[in-house]
A = this chain, B = another copy of it.
Amino acid sequence: MNIAANDPSLKTWVEIPENSDFSIQNLPFGIIKVNGGEPRAASRIGDFAIDLKALFVLGYLTNLPFRMEDFDTDTLNIMMKKGKEGTRKLRDRLSKLFQEGQDDLKNKEHHVNQVLIPIDGVQMLMPVQIGDYTDFYSSRDHATNVGTMFRDPANALLPNWLWIPVGYHGRASSVILSGQDIYRPKGQTKPGEDENPVVGASKLLDFELEMGFITYDGKPLGDTISTEEAEDYIFGMVLFNDWSARDIQKWEYIPLGPFLAKNFASSISPWIVTLDALEPFKIEGPEQEPEVLDYLKYSGKKRYDINLEVLIQPEGKEETSVSKSNFKFMYWNMVQQLAHHTVNGCNIRGGDLMGSGTISGPTPDSYGSMLELAWKGTKPVQLNDGSERKFIADNDTVIMRGHSSKEGVRVGFGEVSTKVLPTK
């Protein structure tokens, strides 16, 4: 696919700091609030938010399928009703306005001052109203690690895993934005085989390094979305920390799956990077053996090379990088996940969130959870301040970052950062 806004030779007249995730090839979407004003739709370039309502009012978004109400809002859901064609045109327009050599906007300083808002003065809000949140379980290394620890190393993968992009429903109400603190959850746990369960603060609080994708409106109930159609229904991606309480999970999850172990909070990064902007970072594979069923077959590159990192920052201390993973380690890709999700006629709506599942790579330094990094508590992770962690401690901040990079172009997600407060 050839998308003009992705041209790696494009430069911008906006000053971009070195290693910024927000090059002119990115142009993600989010919701901002400035100085206690009304929320509005925005994009970002370098260290500036781009106020889309201001751009519209000043006449820079003419001849596009948008009205002012699409940007004068606290959710991108409205703008996303225009589908991939609409949001692609919008990103193309932004790309043109901010290109080096395009002076329409650049030369009007009073306009530039209304449109480009220094990011330090910007409050980020939830970018979409999430209808349903689904979580998949699509990293083979993660599933193998969990199977090895809790079941049988010789048969670590369950029989359905190589046939089904296994998924389950999570909770939409407790998806929160980067920067919002969470409280350590309470719940039922079973201390030992012969002991009765107790209720109290989780002792095994964990992060899960994931990415999430956000959908456009789908088809009516009863219809399916093929792997070929799937990309047209995916707006973009975010970093996603699917918080998990391992001790609560262990006691509750048979037979109907994780519930309170997960639904106390899941954190997303604020800027939705469009699938269009990620197009240049697609790669082949992986091989899927046994051969998947017809409705899960796909053609072309559907994996994405996105570098991911997890850091832990104890209160008042420096951060320690504890994992370096990559979105390319997924066995099942997003178009397979969406085709599977709708094969039964399940309907999706604009703003639905689909999590990848924990993204673990093949080596121990690329595992996507403390459960795996500290291998069930047997190999504590050393932090730079001299302390160690088997799981996440009170007042720790967990930070996830992600970016793609190729031919001198960097397209990234910023970060999702969440501090854990003691149980309320």
User: Which residues of A does B touch, CB under 8 Å?
Assistant: 131-132, 137, 158, 160, 163-164, 166-174, 176, 182-183, 185-188, 190, 196-199, 202, 221-224, 245, 248, 251-260, 263-265, 290, 293-295, 340-341, 343-349, 352, 424
Contact = CB atoms under 8 A, between A and B. Distances in A.
The 7 closest A-B pairs by CB, nearest first: A257-B257, A185-B344, A168-B256, A169-B169, A183-B222, A256-B257, A260-B344
Contacts of A182: 221-222
A343 B257 contact: no
Contacts of A160: 190, 197, 251-252, 254
B132 A171 contact: yes
A122 to B, nearest CB: 23
Contacts of A186: 224, 343-345
A40 to B, nearest CB: 24
**Identical subunits present:** 2
A222 B183 CA distance: 6
A392 to B, nearest CB: 15
Contacts of A168: 168-169, 256-259
A346 B188 contact: no
Contacts of A187: 343-344
A137 B255 CA distance: 10
A128 B173 CA distance: 16
B263 A173 contact: no
B166 A199 contact: no
Given A168-B256, A197-B163, A293-B188, A173 B132 contact: yes
